[in-house]
Amino acid sequence: MSETLDRLTDGEPPAEPEPAEIADPKAAAPDESDEPAELDPEVKARRDAALAHVRKFGDPVLNTKAREVERFDDALREEVQRLGMLMHDAMGIGLAATQIGLLNRVFVYRVQPDAPPSALVNPEVKWTSSEEETAEEGCLSLPLVHVDVERPAHVRVEARDEYGEPLLVEASGLEARVILHELDHLDGVLILSKTTREQRKEAMRLLREQQLQPSS
Ligand SMILES: [Zn+2]
């Protein structure tokens, strides 16, 4: 993956919403993916439509802990499918149910651009490495914000798939980062609380500015 987000340095007006959830300058980007320099208008329209379904900073649902999923039924599978489509259209690499206002412990992610999205239901971290890495992350719920977050480099997670089958996921690098970022969403935690004071201040300023702007 690659380049990510941030091209905001070239003096372009920040009119375009940023992609989704994590970004990755060097290596990692949680829900946001790389933003191509120029988007095809159709792709951009689809992305904007998908982003309109993603709850943004200030929505209390983003600070709420999601509930365990108890029923592995069609409704759950539809939710997973919807999350996957929104993540795809929003050009994100991860999306948690809480980000679309559903308080279920479910998220989807996809680190390889062409791979089908993976869904983790009721994920539980079983082990994390003591080795940690710091990388820049973005978030579909925090437009334009990119902050450094330190996370374990390796993680082992147990979960279920959308049919209730047990899954064991061992991930490293960007994949571990995305999983931990999305898991935080299920606990009502945003990257703003995981970065430095200075970066949090700057992020809050950016978010406040956007809230002052009418529309979009
Ligand atoms: Zn996020």
* CA 200, chain centre distance (Å): 17
Domains and CATH numbers, the chain: 8-212 (3.90.45.10)
Q: What's the DSSP call for residue 195?
A: S
Closest CA relative to residue 149, chosen from 126, 127, 176, 168 = 176
What pLDDT is attached to residue 113?
81
Expressed in angstroms and rounded, the spacing between residue 153 Cα and the centre of ligand 1 is 18
Encode pLDDT of 5-48 as tens digits: 322 333 334 444 444 465 444 444 578 765 656 789 999 999 99
What residues act catalytically?
182
More confident residue, 215 or 98: 98
- For the chain, the distance separating the N- and C-terminal CA atoms, rounded to the nearest angstrom, is 27
CB atoms within 10 A of CB 142: 25
What pLDDT is attached to residue 176?
98
Expressed in angstroms and rounded, the spacing between residue 65 Cα and the centre of ligand 1 is 14
Expressed in angstroms and rounded, the spacing between residue 63 Cα and the centre of ligand 1 is 12
Encode pLDDT of 40-69 as tens digits: 999 999 999 999 999 999 999 999 999 999
- For residues 193-197, give the mean pLDDT: 96
CB atoms within 10 A of CB 25: 18
Expressed in angstroms and rounded, the spacing between residue 70 Cα and the centre of ligand 1 is 24
Q: How far apart are CA 136 and CA 27, in angstroms?
A: 8
Q: What's the DSSP call for residue 5?
A: S
What pLDDT is attached to residue 185?
98
What size, in residues, is the chain? 216
Encode pLDDT of 72-114 as tens digits: 999 999 999 999 999 999 999 999 999 999 999 999 999 988 8
Give ion ligand 1 contacts, CB < 5 A: 21, 31, 139
Expressed in angstroms and rounded, the spacing between residue 77 Cα and the centre of ligand 1 is 21
Expressed in angstroms and rounded, the spacing between residue 92 Cα and the centre of ligand 1 is 9
pTM of the model: 0.84
Expressed in angstroms and rounded, the spacing between residue 59 Cα and the centre of ligand 1 is 13
Sign of CA dihedral 54, 146, 94, 49: positive
Mean pLDDT over each residue of the chain, to the nearest integer: 87
Per cent of the chain over pLDDT 90 is 76
